[in-house]
Structure 1
Amino acid sequence: MLIGVVIGSTRKPRCCPQIAEFIVHTIKNSLTYKQLEEKPELRLVDIDDWNLPLYNESKIPSQVQNYQDYDHEHTRQWSLEIQKYNAFIFVAPQYNWGYPAALKNALDYLFNEWRAKPAAVVSYGGHGGIKCSEQLRVVLQGLRMIPTENKVLLSFADRSVLTKATIGSPMNLLESPESSFAAEEVAQIETTFSELCQLMKKKTEP
C-alpha cells in the first residue's frame, strides 16, 4: 500500500513541506502504525515539483479512461503519478477561508485517478484552517474520493510560530512539536490516520 502525502502549497517561502514531513514522522512513530501487520509506505508528493500550468486540457477529466488520451505530456505524467497511490493525505494552508489555487488546479486535472480512493485532510492556519478543511473535503467528495470523518486542524501556538511559518524558517517540528501546535491537535493525526487505514482495508475486502 502506498499513501501520497500531498504538499498543497507552492508559495515561496513556505512551511508546508515541514508540516508534511512532520505528519509522516508522527504517523510512523504512532502506536497505530507500529501495530499494523502491513505498513503502508508514505511518500511526499509536492505539487510545486510538477509545475502544472492552469488547466489546459481539451477533454473533461471524468471522460478520460486512459492516461494516453490526455493532450499534454505534463498531464499524462501527473496521471501516472497519482495512479500509483492507494490513498492520500492532503496537507494545505488556509488562504482567505479557502485552500491554495495550485492544489485545486492539481486536483482538477484528473478525475478517475482520484476516484474511490480514501483521503484525509490536514489543514493549518487561523483556527486550524477549518474553512480550508471544509472546502477541500467537499471537493474531494466531488471527485468521488472517500474522505475521512476525522480531520487534523493545526493552529500555530503563538505569533512567533506564525512568523517562522510565514517566512519558511525551521520550526523544529520533529524535535519539539509542542512549541508549535497543541497536543490535542497532534494527537488527532494518529486518530485520522487510523480511520484512513480502516477505509483502505475496507476497499481491499472482497
Structure 2
Amino acid sequence: MENLMMKIAIVVSSTRPTRKGRHVGEWVLENVSRPDAHFELVDLAEIDLPLLSEPKPAVFGPPYEQERTRAWSETVAGYDGFIFVVPEYNHSIPAPLKNALDHLYVEWHDKAAAFVSYGVDNGVRAVEHLRGILSELGIAHVGPSVGLSLSDFSDGVVSANERKAAALDAMLDKLIAWCGALAPLRVSSDDNQDRPRLGCSDLDSAQAATESIIAELQDGIDQGNADIYNRHFALDVMWGNPNGGTLLGYEELHAIHGQLLSANVAGPSRYEIVAARKVAVDVVVAHVRRAAIDASGVALEPAAAGVFSEMALYVLVRRRGQWWLAAGQNTPIASI
C-alpha cells in the first residue's frame, strides 16, 4: 500500500459567522504538501447539513432519502482520512460537527483522523471528546495533534510559530501512515466495492456536472480560446478525434485545440446534453451533441456543404471538488 495516493479532507467544523476555523483550515492546507497524499478543504458551513432528520438510523447506511445526506455520503466516502479542525465549545465540539458525524456511519469506517484544535486552552478537551465519538464510528485517530492558542493568531489569521508547524508535520507522518495501513480493510470490507452500481438515481448531479463542462466548451468555441475550452481537461486526458486518432495528454491536445479554435475550423455550434449518467461516486458518463448553427442560432443540416456536427461521449471525474474531463470520443453525425 506504500504507493497509494491518500485523499485527505481538512474538515472545518465551526460554522459561526465570526469563526477562526476557516483561517485555521487554510493554514493547514497551506502547510501540507506530500507526494503520497492529496488534501482538500471541506467546510461544514458550505456543506450546510440540516439537523439530522433521516427516517432510518445512519447505522443502516445508504440509500438515504434526503439529497443533502446523499451528497454528504458521497463526499465522506471519497476520502481515506480526515484532519478535523475543531474549536472547543463548553469542553466539547461544535454542534455542526457532531451533526455531520451522526448523519453517516459506514462511510467513516476504517479510515484515519488527526486533529488541529484551537481555543483558550488549545481546544484539547474538544479533541478528547471527539476521540470517543470517532472510536464508535470506526475511525482510527492518531496520537499526535496540533493545538493553537489565542497567541497563535494575529488579526484573526493563524501566525503559528515553527514549533507548531513542526507538530503539524509530525502529525501528518502518522496520519498518512495510518491511512495507508487501513487501506486493505477499506478494499476488502465489501466484496463488490470495485464493481460500481451503474446508472444510479442521482441524475441531477450528473446533469449539473455535464452542464458545467459543456458551458466551458461552448465559451471556448465562441471566443476561439483553447485556454477556456480546455480549462478542465485532466492532465492525462484521452481524446478520440473524429478522424479516428487518439491524443493522450493535455499538452498535445491543448496545442491542437489552440490551432483549430484560432482558425475557426468548426464554425459556430451549440452543445446539447443528450444523456448523462452518474456511474460511480465521482464519475459521470455523458452523451453530448455539438450541432453546427447558422448566424441566427438555428441548427444546420449535417448534409449541407461545409457543415460539421458531431456526437461526443465524455467521461467526467470529480477531483478537488471540480469535475474534470478524463476522456472524450468525438464522432461525426450525418443527421441531427
Give me the TM-score of the superposition, normalised by structure 2.
0.51
Match of 2:13 in 1: 8
Q: Deviation at 1:154?
A: 1.0
Q: Does structure 2 conserve the Cα–Cα contact (< 8 Å) formed by 1:2 and 1:85?
A: yes
Residue by residue over 1:159-205, the C-alpha shift from the partner in whole angstroms, topping out at 9 and shown as x without a partner, is xx47x43xxxxx2x4xxx2xxx3443332111111000110221236
2:147 to 153, 170, 173: 153
Q: Deviation at 1:53?
A: 1.0
The yes-or-no answer on 1:141 pairing with 2:141 is no
Distance 1:19 1:148 in 2: 19
SS class of match (1:113): helix
SS class of match (1:122): strand
1:27 to 24, 32, 36: 32
In structure 2, do the counterparts of structure 1 residues 127 and 74 end up closer, same or farther at CA, with 3 Å as the change threshold? same
In structure 2, do the counterparts of structure 1 residues 26 and 59 end up closer, same or farther at CA, with 3 Å as the change threshold? same
Match of 1:78 in 2: 72
SS class of match (1:85): coil
Match of 1:197 in 2: 176
| Letter paired with 2:43 | D
| Letter paired with 1:75 | T
Paired residues in the alignment total 180
| Letter paired with 2:179 | M
Q: Does structure 2 conserve the Cα–Cα contact (< 8 Å) formed by 1:155 and 1:182?
A: no
Query: 1:1-206 alignment to 2 at 5 Å?
Result: 1-28=6-33, 33=34, 36=35, 39-64=36-61, 67=62, 69-157=63-151, 161=153, 164-165=155-156, 171=157, 173=158, 177=159, 181-204=160-183
| Letter paired with 1:44 | L
SS class of match (1:126): coil
SS class of match (1:149): coil
SS class of match (1:187): helix
Q: Which has the larger radius of gyration?
A: 2
Give me the TM-score of the superposition, normalised by structure 1.
0.82
Q: Does structure 2 conserve the Cα–Cα contact (< 8 Å) formed by 1:121 and 1:137?
A: no
Deviant stretches of 4+, over 3 Å: none
Bigger share in helix: 1
SS class of match (2:123): helix
Larger mean Cα displacement after TM superposition, 53-62 or 181-190? 181-190
Give 5+ residue unaligned stretches, structure 2.
Answer: 1-5, 186-336
Q: Does structure 2 conserve the Cα–Cα contact (< 8 Å) formed by 1:62 and 1:110?
A: yes
Identify the structure with bigger relative contact order (alpha carbons < 8 Å, sequence gap 6+).
Answer: 1
| Letter paired with 1:193 | L
| Letter paired with 1:57 | E
Bigger share in strand: 2
Residue by residue over 1:1-34, the C-alpha shift from the partner in whole angstroms, topping out at 9 and shown as x without a partner, is 2101101110002221111111121122xxxx3x
Q: Deviation at 1:72?
A: 0.9
Distance 1:156 1:88 in 2: 24
| Letter paired with 2:20 | C
Percent identity between matched residues is 33
SS class of match (1:127): coil
RMSD: 1.7
